[in-house]
């Protein structure tokens, strides 16, 4: 199946700031801009010759497409840290998540564009208002429901920290499950997807452990931040 | 407090200004023109001796790691391996290209044996180019390929050792006590393959199944006389019994201080505290009130309202056990925690394990049963990637390959403690955090950049390292003072592509027999030499060149032992001049004496050196750098041996 590429720029960063959760304070996304998705002829040719050797499959496309939406929700959640009174440790974690996952979205969008697949464009503003982004998103493991998103958006301070960690652990575990599903479906033979999925696997597994520690800590102790 | 902070930042700006004077400013690495063969270049105290582009059929694949023997550099590639003759560093020639696709073809060498890592699902046992597509296949290679390269024209694949997770990287260990064998430590972070393909590959948590392929290393024993018998001899579980919160720089300093303060205040208020993850913390009253409530009910009381001081005392003594139980279970011992790279340093019996969420210090005195001595975690680290010990084995440097090497993590907004190196001193088998070192020049979003592979440069008396930062280029830095690492040389090219990030840059750069060889992912093989500067003298570089190896694998770190040479003595003298460990007049006098001795012959040289050695012995006690004067005196005396 051949699908024409529609390289479209992502929403400009300024737009996120006026979204519901971004109304005040400095967004974590400000520091990092999302470049437009471009697919050039040389890259497409390279992708084609790569895939002659390591053919990508429907499982790869499904994984990469889904992971863009999955990441988008994580970015919105983490982006709330400064405006929701998160403690220093959670704020640092959130900065990392936004930084890492924005870069990964760029990578995934390019992978799709180079292979002439439709490129999902995250609608951060809608996600920030609690919209789940459609039915297909909810079928992905670990995704927050609209109610969970709204609950997180309402939380402040320590309550935000605790809820954020609980929900992000759920979210990350979902991503790890998606990697498992990909390999079980004989995806990941494409080298770029193999590397990317393996990286998500180890990065998010490592981060889950870190968040579990932070959460235990928060649940048992007095809040140490205002 | 504010005043103190003000003073500190004033001091910081003064020392930064001093650094800025020494380094070219503005940094010439910023704003380099893009291009594959015509990219803009910035070099400081380094000279590019040659760049040799990759040749077909390797051109469309990424180059990976390096190993060395004799006059050869072996460069791994996702398409196989390339053997370069580097006897003339200005004109390396491809001696042999061996097509054998696999990710990522990490290479090591020992004598006539070459070891290659394979990790992905497509790689074939027969090195064929048609990838394996079936989910279960007898043709798949995930593990270690062993080649006999006695005949370089016809490398012979003598063994393949299959492992459950494949081999992302590996390290070769030569134990002097066991000269008949070489040991390969296999690290793999990819998913476990099907037991139908390789029996015994169990993905269940090790707590439930002792044969689990998770949370372990594999060690392969290769008999040198019969390498075809290479096989896994042990699978040590170096992750077992990890403390919930390892020591180290796990929390930011301000968080630790805040926690200590709040614990002290809570104690003063009579609130309960407990040691959680190694730190005393004030417990939430909600939590302890619930416990008190149950305690009272257990003894038949009415609950929280009827708490007595005896109940409180009972809770206080029971708390450590309660907390331990709650922390126990080790949460979710998440599936895929594995080591990424292990650097073995047999000469001191230590290994550094970069194991995803942790940095390990391991005792490898028994090669097949490594034992974890200590572990560190770091809230700024995402992915512990590789380790390098200093030559004395008193410091260890871990790097964080944040983003897996495929992301641009050196942009202006990416924090200096993220995607960096963390330096620790080793004291009594424990690691103490000292500082971070990150490439100090901002790179573009088109350049994948993060801390990656490097090696020590054998500068006597100092800890100097060269490291590849992908498209961030290569950086040479001094970490002799572990709390204040500083860059002393660099080389950088502009991005491969001006419009988008393509994989390129230095995968690894290692010092080997006088030059620095870098594996450029997209641009081939680079060879560099150091250029003397105020930070590194010609004598120090000459002394480094006296270290020669027959073979070299960066992850099987050899110990440097400098042979006696005038360069060695002069290098120490230059260092004493830099540290002001001897008065300027004395430096001049010793330099003259050394020069005269070098020019003299036979008995005259012997006498001159004896006299100089004796006079230097007398300098020791008066010097602020006594250890270096001792090294110099010894180097002078050794010239007489």
CA distance A137 to chain B (A): 25
DSSP B153-183: TS-EEEEEEE-SS--SEEEEE--TT-TTEEE
Closest partner CB to B406 (pick from A46, A107, A212): A107
Chain B hits for A104, Cβ within 8 Å: 403, 407
Give me the percent of chain A exceeding a pLDDT of 70. Answer: 70
CA distance B521 to chain A (A): 15
How far lies B103's CA from each of A91, B132, B142, B144, B225, in Å? Answer: 36, 13, 9, 11, 28
- A25-34, A65-74, A174-183, B90-99, range with the lowest pLDDT: A25-34
CATH of B32-239+337-552, one of 2.40.170.20, 2.130.10.10, 3.40.140.10, 3.40.980.10: 2.130.10.10
CATH number of the CATH domain containing A135: 1.20.1260.10
| Two tokens, residue B3 | 């005043």
Residue A125 inside a domain? The answer is yes
- A108-112, A136-140, B293-297, B438-442, range with the lowest pLDDT: A136-140
Residue A1 banded pLDDT, cuts 50, 70, 90? very low
Q: Is B189 on the interface with A (CB under 8 A)?
A: yes
CB contact under 8 A, B191 and A183: yes
Residue A6 inside a domain? The answer is no
Return the pLDDT at B320: 78
- Cβ-Cβ contacts under 8 Å for B310 (sequence gap 6 or more): none
B283 or A135: which leads in pLDDT: B283
Return the pLDDT at B284: 80
Write down the domain spans for chain B.
32-239+337-552, 253-330, 566-638
Whole-angstrom distance, CA of residue A162 vs CA of residue A151: 12
Return the pLDDT at B191: 82
CA distance B409 to chain A (A): 9
SS3 B468: strand
CB contact under 8 A, A220 and B101: no
In the predicted model, residues of chain B with pLDDT beneath 50 are: 1-21, 248-249, 328-336
Chain B hits for A106, Cβ within 8 Å: 501
DSSP structural state of residue A11: P
Return the pLDDT at B1: 38
First to last CA, chain A: 55
**Which residue has tokens 């250890």?**
B627
Whole-angstrom distance, CA of residue B414 vs CA of residue A63: 28
Range B172-201 burial, b when 16+ CB lie within 10 A, else e: bbbbeeeeebbbbbbbbbbbbbbeebbeeb
Q: Is B188 on the interface with A (CB under 8 A)?
A: no
Q: Is B303 on the interface with A (CB under 8 A)?
A: no
| Two tokens, residue B233 | 């001899």
Closest partner CB to A224 (pick from B101, B259, B500): B259
Whole-angstrom distance, CA of residue B470 vs CA of residue B508: 8
Closest partner CB to B331 (pick from A189, A196, A212): A212
Whole-angstrom distance, CA of residue B454 vs CA of residue B352: 14
pLDDT exceeds 50 at position A16: no
Closest partner CB to B255 (pick from A88, A209, A222): A88
How far lies A170's CA from each of A66, A88, B335, in Å? Answer: 16, 21, 15
Whole-angstrom distance, CA of residue B472 vs CA of residue B30: 10
Which B residues 86-105 touch A at CB under 8 Å?
Answer: 101, 103
Range B571-603 burial, b when 16+ CB lie within 10 A, else e: bbbbbbbbeebbeeebbeebbebbeebbeeeee
| Two tokens, residue B211 | 């044969």
CB contact under 8 A, A208 and B284: no
Residue A137 inside a domain? The answer is yes
| Pairing verdict, β B63-69 and B72-77 | antiparallel
CB contact under 8 A, A216 and B327: yes
How far, in whole angstroms, is CA B132 from its chain's centroid?
Answer: 33
User: What is the phi/psi pair of residue B608, to 5°?
Assistant: -60, -40
User: What is the phi/psi pair of residue B85, to 5°?
Assistant: -85, 115
Closest partner CB to A198 (pick from B190, B407, B413): B190
CB contact under 8 A, B276 and A43: no
- The answer to pTM > 0.80 is yes
Asked if residue B350 lies in contact with residue B249, where contact means CB atoms within 8 angstroms, the answer is no
CA distance A143 to chain B (A): 19
Structurally, how many domains does chain A consist of?
Answer: 1
Asked if residue B120 lies in contact with residue A191, where contact means CB atoms within 8 angstroms, the answer is yes
Return the pLDDT at B529: 98
Closest partner CB to B403 (pick from A103, A207, A225): A103
Closest partner CB to A221 (pick from B284, B382, B502): B284
Instruction: Provide the number of CB pairs (under 8 Å) joining chain A to chain B.
Output: 163
CB contact under 8 A, A107 and B129: no
Complex ipTM value: 0.81
Q: What angle do CA B342, B347, B350 make, to 5 degrees?
A: 40
Whole-angstrom distance, CA of residue B491 vs CA of residue B531: 12
Asked if residue B132 lies in contact with residue B119, where contact means CB atoms within 8 angstroms, the answer is no
How far lies B627's CA from each of A91, A225, B541, B616, B619, in Å? Answer: 46, 47, 21, 12, 11
SS3 A42: helix
Q: Is B247 on the interface with A (CB under 8 A)?
A: no
Asked if residue A140 lies in contact with residue A66, where contact means CB atoms within 8 angstroms, the answer is yes
Residue A226 inside a domain? The answer is no
Chain B hits for A54, Cβ within 8 Å: 122, 131
Disruptive mutation site among A209, A210, A216, A223 for chain B (greatest number of B CBs within 10 Å): A209
Chain A hits for B335, Cβ within 8 Å: 176, 205
pLDDT, chain A, mean: 79
Asked if residue A119 lies in contact with residue A7, where contact means CB atoms within 8 angstroms, the answer is yes
CB contact under 8 A, A222 and B78: no
Angle between helices A88-114 and A41-53 (to 10 degrees): 90
Name the maximum alpha-carbon separation found in chain A: 58
Name, of A131-135, A177-181, B258-262, B561-565, the range with top average pLDDT: B561-565
Residue A5 inside a domain? The answer is no
SS3 B102: coil
Which B residues 460-489 touch A at CB under 8 Å?
Answer: none
Name the maximum alpha-carbon separation found in chain B: 98
Chain B hits for A162, Cβ within 8 Å: none
Range A49-68 burial, b when 16+ CB lie within 10 A, else e: ebbebbebbebbbebbbbbb
Q: Which structural domain range is residue A101 located in?
A: 13-220
Nearest to A84 by CA among A145, A29, A22: A22
Dihedral sign (CA B400, B406, B412, B413) = negative
| Pairing verdict, β B350-355 and B80-85 | unpaired
Q: Is B251 on the interface with A (CB under 8 A)?
A: yes
Dihedral sign (CA B224, B227, B232, B238) = positive
Closest partner CB to A38 (pick from B356, B415, B499): B499
Q: Is B445 on the interface with A (CB under 8 A)?
A: yes
Closest partner CB to B103 (pick from A96, A191, A208): A191
Residue A105 inside a domain? The answer is yes
């Amino acid at each position: 199946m051949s699908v024409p590429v529609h390289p479209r720029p992502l929403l400009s960063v300024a737009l996120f700031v006026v979204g519901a959760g971004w109304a005040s304070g400095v967004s974590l996304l400000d520091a990092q801009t999302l470049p437009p998705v471009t697919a050039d002829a040389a890259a497409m040719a390279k992708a084609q010759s790569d895939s002659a050797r390591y053919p990508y499959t429907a499982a790869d496309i499904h994984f990469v497409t889904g992971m863009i939406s999955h990441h988008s929700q994580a970015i919105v959640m983490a982006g709330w840290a400064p405006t929701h009174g998160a403690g220093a440790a959670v704020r640092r974690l959130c900065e990392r998540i936004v930084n890492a996952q924005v870069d990964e979205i760029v990578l995934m969008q390019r992978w799709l564009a180079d292979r002439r697949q439709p490129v999902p464009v995250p609608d951060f503003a809608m996600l920030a208002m609690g919209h789940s982004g459609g039915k297909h998103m909810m079928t992905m493991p670990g995704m927050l429901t609209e109610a969970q998103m709204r609950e997180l958006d309402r939380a402040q301070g320590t309550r935000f920290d605790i809820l954020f960690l609980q929900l992000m652990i759920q979210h990350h575990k979902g991503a790890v499950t998606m990697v498992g599903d990909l390999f079980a479906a004989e995806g990941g033979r494409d080298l770029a997807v193999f590397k990317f999925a393996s990286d998500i696997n180890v990065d998010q597994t490592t981060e889950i452990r870190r968040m579990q520690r932070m959460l235990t800590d928060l649940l048992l102790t007095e809040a140490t931040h205002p | 407090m504010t005043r103190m902070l003000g003073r500190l930042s004033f001091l910081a700006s003064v020392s930064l200004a001093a650094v800025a004077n020494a380094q070219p400013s503005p940094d010439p690495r910023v704003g380099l023109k893009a291009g594959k063969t015509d990219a803009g270049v910035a070099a400081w105290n380094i000279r590019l001796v040659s760049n040799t582009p990759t040749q077909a059929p390797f051109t469309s694949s990424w180059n990976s790691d390096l190993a060395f023997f004799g006059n050869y550099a072996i460069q791994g590639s996702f398409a196989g391996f390339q053997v370069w003759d580097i006897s003339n560093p200005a004109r390396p020639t491809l001696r042999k290209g061996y097509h054998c696709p696999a990710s990522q073809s990490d290479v090591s060498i020992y004598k006539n044996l070459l070891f290659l890592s394979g990790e992905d699902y497509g790689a074939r046992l027969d090195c064929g180019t048609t990838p394996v597509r079936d989910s279960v296949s007898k043709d798949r290679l995930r593990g270690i390929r062993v080649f006999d390269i006695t005949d370089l024209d016809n490398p012979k694949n003598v063994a393949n050792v299959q492992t459950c997770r494949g081999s992302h990287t590996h390290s070769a260990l030569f134990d002097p006590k066991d000269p008949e064998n070489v040991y390969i430590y296999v690290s793999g972070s990819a998913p476990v393959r099907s037991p139908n393909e390789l029996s015994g590959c169990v993905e269940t948590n090790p707590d439930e199944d002792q044969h689990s392929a998770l949370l372990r290393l594999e060690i392969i024993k290769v008999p040198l006389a019969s390498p075809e018998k290479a096989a896994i001899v042990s699978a040590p579980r170096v992750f077992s019994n990890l403390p919930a919160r390892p020591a180290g720089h796990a929390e930011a300093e301000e968080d630790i201080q805040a926690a200590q303060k709040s614990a002290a205040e809570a104690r003063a208020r009579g609130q309960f505290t407990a040691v959680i993850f190694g730190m005393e913390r004030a417990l939430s009253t909600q939590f302890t009130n619930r416990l008190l409530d149950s305690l009272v009910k257990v003894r038949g009381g009415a609950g929280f309202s009827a708490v007595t001081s005896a109940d409180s005392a009972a809770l206080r003594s029971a708390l450590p056990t309660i907390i331990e139980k709650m922390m126990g279970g080790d949460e979710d011992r998440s599936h895929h925690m594995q080591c990424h790279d292990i650097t073995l340093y047999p000469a001191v019996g230590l290994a550094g394990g970069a194991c995803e969420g942790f940095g390990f210090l391991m005792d490898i005195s028994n090669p097949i049963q490594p034992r974890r001595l200590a572990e560190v975690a770091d809230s700024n680290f995402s992915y512990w990637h590789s380790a390098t010990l200093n030559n004395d084995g008193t410091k260890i440097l871990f790097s964080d390959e944040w983003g897996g090497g495929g992301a641009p993590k050196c942009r202006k907004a990416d924090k200096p403690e993220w995607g960096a190196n963390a330096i620790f001193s080793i004291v009594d088998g424990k690691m103490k955090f000292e500082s971070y070192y990150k490439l100090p020049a901002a790179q573009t979003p088109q350049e994948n950049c993060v801390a990656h592979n490097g090696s020590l440069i054998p500068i006597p008396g100092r800890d100097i390292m060269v490291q590849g930062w992908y498209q961030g280029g290569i950086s040479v830095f001094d970490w002799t003072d572990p709390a204040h690492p500083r860059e002393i040389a660099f080389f950088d090219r502009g991005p491969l592509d001006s419009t988008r990030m393509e994989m390129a840059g230095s995968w690894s750069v290692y010092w080997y027999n006088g030059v620095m060889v870098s594996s450029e992912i997209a641009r081939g093989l680079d060879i560099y030499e150091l250029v003397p500067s105020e930070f590194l003298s010609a004598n120090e570089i000459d002394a480094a060149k006296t270290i020669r190896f027959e073979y070299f694998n960066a992850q099987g770190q050899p110990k440097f032992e400098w042979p006696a040479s005038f360069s060695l003595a002069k290098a120490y003298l230059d260092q004493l001049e830099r540290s002001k460990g001897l008065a300027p007049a004395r430096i001049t006098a010793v330099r003259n004496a050394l020069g005269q001795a070098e020019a003299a012959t036979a008995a005259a040289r012997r006498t001159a050196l004896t006299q100089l050695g004796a006079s230097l012995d007398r300098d020791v006690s008066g010097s602020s750098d006594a250890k270096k004067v001792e090294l110099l005196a010894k180097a002078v005396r050794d010239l007489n041996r």
